Amino acid sequence: MELGKQEKNIQDLIYLVACAIHEVEPADEIVRAMDLDEIYRLATKQCISAMLGHVLKNKKELLGAERFNLWNQAEALSVRKNMLMDIERTSILSWMEQQGIWYMPLKGVIIKDMYPAFGMREMSDNDILFDPAARAALHDHMVDLGYRVELYETDKDDQYMKNPVYFFEMHVSLAEDHLYPKIYEYYKDVKERLVPDAGKKYGYHFTDEDFYIFHVAHSEKHTEHSGDGLRSMIDSYVYLTQKPNMDWKYIEEQLELLGMLEFESDMRALAFRLFGTAEYGIYDRCNEDEIRKVEAHVRAGKHGTLSTSIEKYINNVMDTNGGKGGKGAYYMHRLFPDKATMKRNYHVLLKHGWLLPFCHIHRVVRGVLFKRDRISRELNEVRKA
């Protein structure tokens, strides 16, 4: 079929990802016909440029020196970052062992090692679930290590950053109760689901099945909020091919409880349709509904877009209120965020909740003075929704 420019770019992007996963050399004639600058832009938005840099490392003549260096640097930076974060994470978890604090690495920390090459799966942060009772002790330790405290005691995770690349999200819960009550309730007593690590006193992990269920829940959460990129589906494909003998009866029972059975089935089917083969041509092997979903994932970037988030919020309000009040509710939501959101941005509220009205005023004045362009863009997206 005849493809438009954007459709071809998407097909080219998927082809290169599939080649990387299957460790297949991309065909020269296909790469030669690609808009590699646009592919690089799309890959960067999806946080998969290192993966494509890896698969294109033998294509220097086709890419040209400047473009080749750009792709090669993306892979090299990912390798360096993963290596540094692995070392730092090992050190922090060792301290937690010494202190008797139970912990469990999450998400990409685990799945990155299932990819064919080190650094192929880019990492933006380290996600670790740990004993909520140790929150203060861990905070003090991270500060002693030179970390900046980005968030603390305002949400389900505390966030710590340190140059050059270190970013830790230390979770005391796997979902916010006020945003995702069903997921929160399901994981409220999460430690009961965990399996002790061999050779560790305080390290834990999910069973293969429970790891996958949480991956699905995390993906669904992003999808429902603001959209989700391709990487969740790539992770799904990589994980499922590494774990072919899971207990699917248990998985489906748990997903039914979470109301995510259909979501998972659709995501899995699409992942295998896109990445199950390194053959070129997703527009020939996907139906119209699948293509629509692929294009939505590509538009979403890594973890969604502002326009998608606005549209979903307005539609949810209108579904609840019989088709009325969507945009008005969104304006009120943005002008006066809930208390949990305000606490994330105004730490003074943790001890002095009575200051909330003054923080709302400060937020509005700060926005008008310093964020006019951002507010204008958001207002335009609301008008279009």
Average pLDDT over residues 225-237: 86
pLDDT, position 306: 52
Task: Mark which of 261, 288, 304 sits at the end of a domain.
Answer: 304
For the entire predicted model, the pTM comes to: 0.84
- Phi, psi of 302, rounded to the nearest 5 degrees: -70, -50
Domain count, the chain: 2
Residues 286, 62, 69: CA angle, nearest 5 degrees = 100
Q: In sequence order, what are the residues at sequence separation of 6 or more whose Cβ sits closer than 8 angstroms to the Cβ of residue 11?
A: 3, 280, 281, 282, 283
Q: Which domain holds residue 323?
A: 305-385
**Angle 36-46/5-22 helices, nearest 10 degrees?**
70
Beta strands in the chain (DSSP E): 103-105, 126-130, 148-151, 157-162, 166-171, 195-196, 204-205
Are 44 and 118 in a shared domain?
yes
Are 380 and 248 in a shared domain?
no
The enclosing domain of 217 has a CATH number of 3.30.460.40
pLDDT greater than 60 at residue 121: yes
**Exposure b/e, 159-196, CB count within 10 A at least 16 = b:** bbeeeebbbbbbbbbbbbeeebeebbebbeebeebbee
Question: Hunting for tokens 């305000």 — which residue is that?
Answer: 342
Q: What is the Cβ-side half-sphere exposure of residue 51, based on CA atoms within 13 angstroms?
A: 31
Q: pLDDT for 253-308, tens place per residue? A: 999 999 999 999 999 999 999 999 999 999 999 999 999 999 988 887 655 555 55
Are 265 and 354 in a shared domain?
no
Secondary structure class of 263 (helix, strand, coil): helix
The C-alpha atoms of residue 380 and residue 47 are separated, in whole angstroms, by 27
Q: pLDDT for 50-95, tens place per residue? A: 999 999 999 999 999 999 999 999 999 999 999 999 999 999 999 9
Are 170 and 309 in a shared domain?
no
Q: pLDDT for 298-340, tens place per residue? A: 887 655 555 555 555 555 545 555 566 666 776 777 777 877 7
- Phi, psi of 354, rounded to the nearest 5 degrees: -65, -15
Token pair for 307: 């326009």
Q: pLDDT for 24-52, tens place per residue? A: 999 999 999 999 999 999 999 999 999 99
